[in-house]
Amino acid sequence: MSQHNVSININGTEHSHDVDARLLLVHYIRENCDLTGTHIGCDSTSCGACTVIVDGRAIKSCTMFAVQASGKEVETIEGVADGGLHPIQEGFWEMHGLQCGYCTPGMIMCAKTLLEKNPDPTEEEIRWGISGNLCRCTGYNKIVEAIQYAAEKINQPEAASA
């Protein structure tokens, strides 16, 4: 098998390993970096459970090879919280946007990308933004409410939250 050295910055930490050319990014993250928050769902891009952020874009890591991510910045669910819950994570908690939790990491990563590009999305924009991710438990209404909660919290002036 053909081995390639990959060096990927994941959540601010450089990870370098020799890997098979066919190793998917999701497996690299989980097996080589011991970051298991990124879930493996369908292995065919249908569910979005494996969504991570690569250089600012939400990517389904089950369809990207680790060698393709070499030299890139990758953020996983483990990198979202910075000393406390991120507003999106808080929104999922407060608005009951998770049930079994399997889709949650991918949903949060999509929501984070959406809110970074559009900090005040409409309900339709939120639904479109998460449309590549499947949830079999909540029916999406609670997820949309969680993202709306996060958007409101992110957009609050600092003085109001102090």
**Model pLDDT for residues 106-140, shown as the tens digit of each residue:** 999 999 999 999 999 999 999 999 999 999 887 89
Measured CA to CA, the distance from residue 50 to residue 41 in angstroms comes to 7
Strand partners, 53: 58, 75
Domain coordinates in residue numbering, the chain: 3-79, 87-155
Are the C-beta atoms of 147 and 130 separated by less than 8 Å?
Answer: yes
Instruction: Given CATH 3.10.20.30, say whether it is the number of domain 3-79.
Output: yes
What are the residues whose beta carbons fall under 8 Å from the beta carbon of 122, sequence distance 6 or more? Answer: none
pLDDT at 122: 98
Q: How far is CA 101 from CA 3, 24, 97, 114, in A?
A: 35, 23, 9, 20
Mean pLDDT in residue range 26-37: 97
> What pTM, to 2 d.p., does this model score?
0.92
The architecture in CATH of the region 87-155 reads Orthogonal Bundle (1.10)
pLDDT at 161: 47
Indicate if the pLDDT at residue 160 is higher than 70. Answer: no
